[in-house]
Structure 1
């Protein structure tokens, strides 16, 4: 067991020193018919947890059709970011609800 622990620690240190990045998890919530601020440091491979705190059904739908997350009231959905660039998104049920993701490589 001790050897396994030391091996995992060594692996973690090597990955950190070699520049390998680990995926981060961010949350975008919906409340009061608005999306919260999008994550500022979003990268390909990161995970977004979409959370609908409203009493209405919403979506997080990319204008370029790269994602479409259906969010019933008081629910969550997860998405792994798959490509870099700017992506505008909106709610299909409430088109005035809009925001944007800026994804780095």
Structure 2
């Protein structure tokens, strides 16, 4: 009986830890008509941003010195957020396209 109870508790703990890891979210940012929507993003470390490019031209989501995500026309690209920070991003090809992401622990 005690062994069964310990095994059951172990299963519950493992399942609970798995759900903590599974809490990462995907934030979708649509690029359409030369605009990031939403342009202001709040996320947590471990979350992912998925950029979906609906324009007929390629774009980037660039943070100078940190990351440079190229999003081809009609495609989607995902980036996992690895550290807490607040950064502005822009499109290298169209510098008037701007956004901001705040990543919390």
Question: What is the alpha-carbon distance in structure 2 between the residues aligned to residue 33 and residue 25 of structure 1?
Answer: 22
Change in CA separation of 1:7 and 1:26 when aligned onto 2, cut-off 3 Å: farther
- What TM-score comes out, normalization by structure 1 length? 0.78
> Which stretches in structure 1 are left out of the alignment for 5+ residues?
1-5
Distance 1:8 1:58, change over 3 A: farther
Q: 1:94: which partner in 2? A: 94
Structure 1 runs (4+) deviating above 4 angstroms are 6-9
Residues in 1 aligned to 2:48 and 2:35: alpha-carbon distance in whole angstroms = 20
What is the TM-score with the length of structure 2 in the denominator? 0.78
Root-mean-square deviation (CA), in Å?
2.4
Instruction: Report the count of equivalent residues.
Output: 95
Higher strand share: 2
In 2, Cα distance between equivalents of 1:59 and 1:84: 21
Question: What runs of 5+ residues in structure 2 fail to find an aligned partner?
Answer: 1-7
